[in-house]
Amino acid sequence: MNEIKELGLEIRVDAVGNIRARLEGNNKDGPVVMTGSHIDSVRNGGRFDGVLGVVGALEAIRVIKEQNIKTNNPIELVIFAEEEGSNFGSTLLGSKFMVGRYTVDDLKKLKNSDGKTAYQVIKEFGLGINNYSAMGFKPSEIKCMIELHIEQSVVLDKAELSIGIVEAIAGMKTLRMVFRGVANHAGATPMGLRQDPMVAAGEAIMFIEKLAKEKAYPSTVATVGRISCLPNVPNVIPGEVAISVDVRDVKSEGIDIIISELEKEIKQIAKARRLDYEFQIIGQSEPVVLSADVVKAIEDTVKEKGYSYMRMNSGAVHDACMLADIVPVGMIFVPSINGRSHVPEEYTRYEDIKKGCDVLLGTVIKMAE
Ligand code: HGY
Ligand code: MN
Ligand code: MN
Q: What is the mean pLDDT of the chain?
A: 94
Please report, for the chain, the start and end positions of each structural domain, with discontinuous segments joined by +: 2-170+288-368, 180-285
Cα(45) to centroid(ligand 2), Å: 8
**Arch. (CATH architecture) of 2-170+288-368:** 3-Layer(aba) Sandwich (3.40)
Nearest atom in ligand 1 to 341's CA: 5
Nearest atom in ligand 1 to 83's CA: 6
Rg (CA), the chain: 23
* pLDDT tens profile 229-259: 999 999 999 999 999 999 999 999 999 999 9
pLDDT given at position 256: 96
- By the CB criterion, residues less than 5 angstroms from ion ligand 3 are 49-50
**Residue whose CA is closest, atom 6 of ligand 1?**
84
Cα(46) to centroid(ligand 1), Å: 12
- pLDDT category of residue 130 using cuts at 50, 70 and 90: low
pTM value is 0.88
pLDDT given at position 160: 97
180-285 fold: Alpha-Beta Plaits (3.30.70)
pLDDT given at position 322: 92
Compute the residue count for the chain. Answer: 369
List, in sequence order, every beta strand (DSSP E) within 134-253.
142-150, 163-169, 171-180, 184-185, 221-223, 227-230, 236-237, 240-249
Ligand nearest to the CA of 41: 2
Cα(253) to centroid(ligand 3), Å: 24
> Do residues 162 and 303 make contact, with C-beta atoms less than 8 angstroms apart?
no
- Number of Cβ atoms within 10 Å of the Cβ of 26: 11
At 270, phi and psi to the nearest 5? -65, -45
**Residue whose CA is closest, atom 3 of ligand 1?**
316
The mean pLDDT of 160-177, rounded to a whole number, is 96
Cα(349) to centroid(ligand 2), Å: 18
Give the distance between the most distant pair of CA atoms in the chain.
78
Give the residues surrounding ligand 1 with Cβ less than 6 Å away. Answer: 83-84, 91, 316-317
Which residue from 37, 318, 322 has its CB within 8 A of the most atoms of ligand 1, so it is best to mutate?
Answer: 318
Cα first-last separation, the chain: 27
* pLDDT tens profile 183-229: 999 999 999 999 999 999 999 999 999 999 999 999 999 999 999 99
Cα(273) to centroid(ligand 1), Å: 34
Cα(91) to centroid(ligand 1), Å: 7
Ligand nearest to the CA of 84: 1
* pLDDT tens profile 265-304: 999 999 999 999 999 998 898 999 999 999 999 999 999 9
Q: In whole angstroms, what is the distance from residue 224 CA to residue 163 CA?
A: 31
Nearest atom in ligand 1 to 246's CA: 1
Spatial neighbors of 346 by CB under 8 A, at least 6 apart, are: 45, 46, 47, 48, 49, 150, 336, 340
